[in-house]
Structure 1
Amino acid sequence: MLITVDDDPNSLVDLLWVREAWNLNPVGEDLPSLLSDDSVRAHAPTGSTDAPAAWVEAWPGMWNACIHHAGLLEDSTIFDQLQHTLDGSPERANLLANMVGPSWKSSFGDEAFTEKKKTWNRSQFQARTQRRPTSLADDPERLSLSALIPAWQAGLTKIVTIPCQGSYTRVIGQHTLLVTDETRDDQERYSEALKQFR
């Protein structure tokens, strides 16, 4: 059994940070809860710009596109394909875009990302490092093995986690389950979440 865990999906985390740092209130179905670390909400928009109105409107579509991409399995042949394309060619650009997927930066540039984003990223990295189990016996997948095995038998090979409050569990592809860090860190909640993959 091989399960991949992506506990730092950059495109999703960027979207979540932008939503809260800029006090966006996007409207849409099935959007995730707020970030667990509420320090990001202390950032307030500055300057005069019309960009945030466009950001609010685009956010739900970007979220859906990014979780769709997060749900895809990595193409193991993509690096071989890249080697057979020319630098700067449309073919290479297309392959790279498919590999990286949609992102806030590719659609809107860096304007939304302030110095506070770098500080927040560092604190998130430290939190993830401290949260990681110190022994194999404490690994969340091992602790929830009785729920993981049937999910794996049903096709689950990838778990994506986001740093949001409470529970937000979604099957986001034929082989991928999205959960919050809080859910994955709680054996009972994680076992229940894994049951959604059947």
Structure 2
Amino acid sequence: MRSSEPMPGNPWPHDMSITIEDRPNSLLEVLWVREAHELKPHGDDLPPVLLDTPVTIQGLAVTAKTRDEWEAAWPSIWHAALAHAGQDNDPRLFDQLHTTADGSIERADLLHRIVGPNWRDTFGDGAFDDDSHSIWSQRGMDAHLSTLPTRLEDQPERRDLAALIPAWRAGLTKIVSIPCAGEFTRRVGENALLMTSATRENSDSYRRALSTFA
């Protein structure tokens, strides 16, 4: 969302660049774990429940102790993953990735810096040893693609450009949306906003969310 030169008649500032992260995989995994395993984490500014409630996992041999560990760690993993999701992408990391060897420590380190903190770093893949996660993920992607605007002017950022520009001038460069219920907005670092997809899809709530940054 950026042009190199001013375009007559185009209200979008030619130097304004906004990144929309609307399928943040690391955040989606953490949210899925919370609800599929019926965790009840406690903490400040935790996100609301998912719109598409996952199937409760019954078949995995997850002990009560393991669930307690997951529940206690959930808020810190969420906040770490969110902080990374709010950062602007560094294209230099991808360039450096091409210069590293497969299986090398250097490549592993770069991949970790690109992907950022996530659930699997702490607890491995055990929480996802069930087909319901992949089914839920695919269902969410299909639903997301089916609701994407087909016209440029219908995109939320174009629709509510008058509210977006002041937020961008105040430092906003990235918007992260999650498929959770209700209206929910939080500032992430110095440059990003987290919000529910429902917040972004509705003009009134999106403008309110953007006004928290400006």
**1-structure distance, mates of 2:47, 2:161:** 26
In the alignment, structure 2 segments of 5+ residues that lack a partner are 1-15
Residue 191 of structure 2: which of 160, 175, 180 is its match? 175
1:48 CA displacement: 4.8
Give the equivalent residue in structure 2 for 1:35.
Answer: 50
Give the equivalent residue in structure 1 for 2:107.
Answer: 92
Kindly provide the amino acid, as one letter, of the partner of residue 167 in structure 1: E
**2-structure distance, mates of 1:57, 1:196:** 30
**2-structure distance, mates of 1:66, 1:99:** 12
In the alignment, structure 1 segments of 5+ residues that lack a partner are none
**1-structure distance, mates of 2:121, 2:75:** 16
**2-structure distance, mates of 1:90, 1:48:** 32
**2-structure distance, mates of 1:48, 1:104:** 16
Matched, 1:75 2:90: yes
The TM-score with structure 1 as length reference comes to: 0.93
Tell me the alpha carbon deviations over residues 121-152 of structure 1, each in whole angstroms, 9 at most, x when there is no partner: 11101110121112112111111111100011
Aligned residue pairs, count? 196
Q: Where do 1:14-163 residues align within 5 Å?
A: 14-38=29-53, 40=54, 42-46=55-59, 47-49=61-63, 50-113=65-128, 114-163=130-179
**2-structure distance, mates of 1:137, 1:87:** 43
Kindly provide the amino acid, as one letter, of the partner of residue 75 in structure 2: P
Backbone CA RMSD of aligned residues: 1.4
The TM-score with structure 2 as length reference comes to: 0.87
* 3-state SS, counterpart of residue 155 of structure 1: coil
| Larger Cα-atom Rg | 2
* 3-state SS, counterpart of residue 77 of structure 1: helix
**8 Å Cα contact 1:21/1:45 also seen in 2:** no
Give the equivalent residue in structure 1 for 2:13.
Answer: none
Worse-matched range after superposition: 95-104 or 61-70 = 95-104
**1-structure distance, mates of 2:62, 2:126:** 12
**2-structure distance, mates of 1:70, 1:59:** 16
**2-structure distance, mates of 1:24, 1:44:** 11
1:82 CA displacement: 2.4
Matched, 1:164 2:177: no
Give the equivalent residue in structure 2 for 1:9.
Answer: 24
1:60 CA displacement: 0.4
1:119 CA displacement: 1.0
Kindly provide the amino acid, as one letter, of the partner of residue 157 in structure 2: E
Tell me the alpha carbon deviations over residues 22-64 of structure 1, each in whole angstroms, 9 at most, x when there is no partner: 00000111100100112x1x41443352321111011000001
